[in-house]
Amino acid sequence: MKVAFLGLGVMGYPMAGHLAKAGHDVTVYNRTADKAARWVKEYGAKSAATPAEAAAECDLVMACVGRDADVREVTVGRHGAFATMKRDAIFVDHTTASAGIARELSEEAHKRGLHFVDAPVSGGEAGAKNGQLTIMCGGSAAAYAKAEPVITAYARQCKRLGEAGAGQLTKMVNQICIAGVVQGLSEGLSFARAAGLDAEAVIEVISKGAAQSWQMENRHKTMLANHFDHGFAVEWMRKDLGIVLDEARNNGASLPVAALVDQFYADVENMGGKRWDTSSLFARMEKLRADKK
């Protein structure tokens, strides 16, 4: 298919690469032209100067940008993709954004004879590089059915959860669960050290039982080594939790743990950890333990 990919960040760069390697005719756009040029050199496709130029005559347009405002800019902004997409083309937004922006842009796309699928991802940089992302989608069944075979170029799991906004709401559930798990693991590891246990040996045992999690399997070693220069940044997790808490205020959900962990991440930022991996909640726990001595 003729595909455009807008946004070549940590996630978008390899995702667009998988599309090119799958044989699609890919045009990329990135605000920083140098990165787009580097991508073109690596994958042999082409780049465009604006989202509108990249999206012209495409069957699908994918995007993975930063926030609601960025999604709005690349779709309906001055040089937005919606202006040049051909009728019945599908815009797939992989940004983690609000359900509100997904519904807004779905309505706008419909007015223009287009389709919009909100499709936030989970799996981090490693998942993007390995083509093993989990993708949660919202939008019409027909639009999803057309987009899904293309999305599988970088996904191990892709599922439609409902109409516009359902993908973003599902990603919110994902982030709520991760926040609690990472904090629990951080507390457990800190407690093990405080109790004089061999934390590695403890994990070897409990990881074979009900406490097992992806975070435990993939992050406990780096946490114990105080290595946080990798993975999903604290500032982005706080952005996501902000979206979650805003949505909870609207729908009445009670999220005491998510709200508390968001405050803990604010503490991590104050420690200089804005760009640290989300597992750096452990660094906060260890600082609290050290302060008590």
**Confidence (pLDDT) at 293:** 78
| Active-site option among 2, 35, 111, 171 | 171
Question: CA 292 from chain center: how many Å?
Answer: 36
- As annotated, the residues of the chain forming the CATH 3.40.50.720 domain(s) are 2-163
- As annotated, the residues of the chain forming the CATH 1.10.1040.10 domain(s) are 170-292
The number of residues making up the chain comes to: 293
Q: What CATH number labels 170-292?
A: 1.10.1040.10
Q: Is the pLDDT of residue 118 over 90?
A: yes
Share of the chain above pLDDT 70, in %: 100
Q: Is the pLDDT of residue 289 over 90?
A: yes
**Confidence (pLDDT) at 150:** 98
Q: Is 41 a catalytic residue?
A: no
The per-residue pLDDT for range 201-230, each reduced to its tens digit, is 999 999 999 999 999 999 999 999 999 998
SS3 assignment, position 161: strand
Q: Is the pLDDT of residue 88 over 90?
A: yes
Share the mean pLDDT of the chain.
97
Q: Is the pLDDT of residue 231 over 90?
A: no
Task: Spell out the alpha helix ranges (H) of the chain.
Answer: 12-21, 33-43, 51-55, 68-76, 99-111, 124-130, 141-151, 166-194, 199-206, 214-224, 234-251, 256-270, 281-292
Span of 68-72, 88-92, 227-231 with lowest mean pLDDT: 227-231
What is the four-CA torsion angle of 122, 259, 251, 124, rounded to 10 degrees? -10
Q: What CATH number labels 2-163?
A: 3.40.50.720
* Mean pLDDT computed over 95-117: 98
The per-residue pLDDT for range 264-284, each reduced to its tens digit, is 999 999 999 999 999 999 999
**Confidence (pLDDT) at 131:** 97
Within 13 Å of residue 75, how many CA atoms lie on the same side as its CB?
34
The per-residue pLDDT for range 8-59, each reduced to its tens digit, is 999 999 999 999 999 999 999 999 999 999 999 999 999 999 999 999 999 9
SS3 assignment, position 95: coil
**Confidence (pLDDT) at 240:** 97
117 within 8 A of 149, measured Cβ to Cβ: no
SS3 assignment, position 211: coil
